[in-house]
């Protein structure tokens, strides 16, 4: 089990070290460009309050932190957490003008954060890449304040047979597009496989409840190509 966790950590790190410069383009390819609309819906449902605190985990290029900050006119204190060296530097560079955002290099499973520190915890297209999802959810619960909210945006399971068939066919060409975009199909092979093997909406809800969250619910986006999961620390 320990070896499997280490192997996945190395694999994921290798994937993002290869694609960090084209990460946003990668998401465009994976989602047909719709991920930008999904992320806006994600922040709209979160509906953050002014002067709140956010921890954004697996921050990547920092797009969720940027949307969150813009939504409440930069009044939030935001901590971005990213484990990959190249993605970490790319995100910091992208958001260097945002004085209310700090960056920490760390894994989702072991956050160097005090208990009960944040009003909101977000993780966008990152939770399927963690090595231990239960540890990740436990850490999310720990660092949230009582009354704090966890929200996850992730590729999920499609609820329409026709759309599911079409997306599966499209997924077969994604590695070929990846080879053209970043010069290698392997990162995209992993990403397609990771989506296919990830939990469905109900299973992720059950894991959230198992790890302490209350009032857990989800909303499908584009018939479940992606889904938003929400839970509270009560």
pLDDT at 5 over 60: no
Residue 12: Cβ-neighbour burial (10 angstroms; 0-12, 13-18, 19+) = buried
Nearest residue to 56 via CA among 14, 21, 104: 104
Q: How far apart are CA 142 and CA 221, in angstroms?
A: 28
User: In the prediction, which pLDDT does 179 show?
Assistant: 80
Beta carbons within 8 Å of 187's beta carbon, 6+ residues apart = 15, 16, 18, 19, 26, 178
H or E segment at 153? strand 144-155
Fold of 2-148+160-199: Rossmann fold (3.40.50)
> What pLDDT, in 10s, does the model give residues 146-202?
999 999 999 999 999 999 999 899 888 888 877 877 777 787 788 889 999 999 999
- Other CB atoms within 10 Å distance of the CB of residue 136: 25
> What pLDDT, in 10s, does the model give residues 82-126?
999 998 999 999 999 999 999 999 999 999 999 999 999 999 999
Gap between the terminal Cα atoms of the chain? 32
User: In the prediction, which pLDDT does 83 show?
Assistant: 93
Q: What angle do CA 119, 124, 125 make, to 5 degrees?
A: 155
Q: How far apart are CA 158 and CA 94, in angstroms?
A: 32
> Whole-model pTM?
0.91
Nearest residue to 152 via CA among 118, 130, 122: 122
Higher confidence at residue 29 or residue 207? 207
Copy the structure tokens of residue 47: 């509906």
Asked whether the beta carbons of 29 and 178 are under 8 A apart, the reply is yes
What is the pLDDT averaged over residues 43-56? 97
């Amino acid at each position: 089990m320990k070896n499997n966790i280490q192997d996945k950590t190395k694999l994921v790190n290798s994937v993002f070290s290869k694609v960090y410069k084209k990460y946003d383009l990668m998401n465009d390819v994976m989602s047909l460009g719709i991920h930008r609309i999904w992320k806006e819906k994600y922040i709209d449902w979160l509906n953050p309050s002014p002067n709140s605190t956010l921890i954004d985990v697996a921050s990547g290029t920092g797009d969720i932190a940027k949307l969150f900050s813009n939504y409440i006119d930069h009044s939030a204190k935001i901590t971005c957490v990213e484990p990959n060296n190249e993605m970490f530097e790319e995100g910091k560079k992208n958001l260097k003008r945002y004085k209310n955002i700090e960056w920490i290099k760390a894994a989702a499973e072991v956050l160097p954060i005090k208990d009960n520190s944040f009003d909101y915890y977000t993780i966008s297209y990152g939770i399927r890449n963690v090595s231990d999802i239960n540890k990740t959810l436990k850490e999310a619960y720990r660092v949230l304040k009582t009354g704090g909210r966890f929200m996850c945006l992730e590729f999920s399971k499609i609820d329409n047979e026709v759309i599911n068939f079409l997306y599966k066919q499209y997924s077969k060409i994604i590695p070929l597009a990846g080879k053209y975009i970043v010069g290698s199909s392997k990162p995209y092979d992993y990403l397609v496989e990771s989506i296919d093997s990830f939990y469905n909406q109900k299973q992720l809800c059950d894991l959230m409840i198992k790890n302490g969250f209350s009032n857990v619910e989800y909303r499908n986006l584009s018939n479940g190509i992606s889904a938003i999961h929400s839970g509270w620390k009560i």
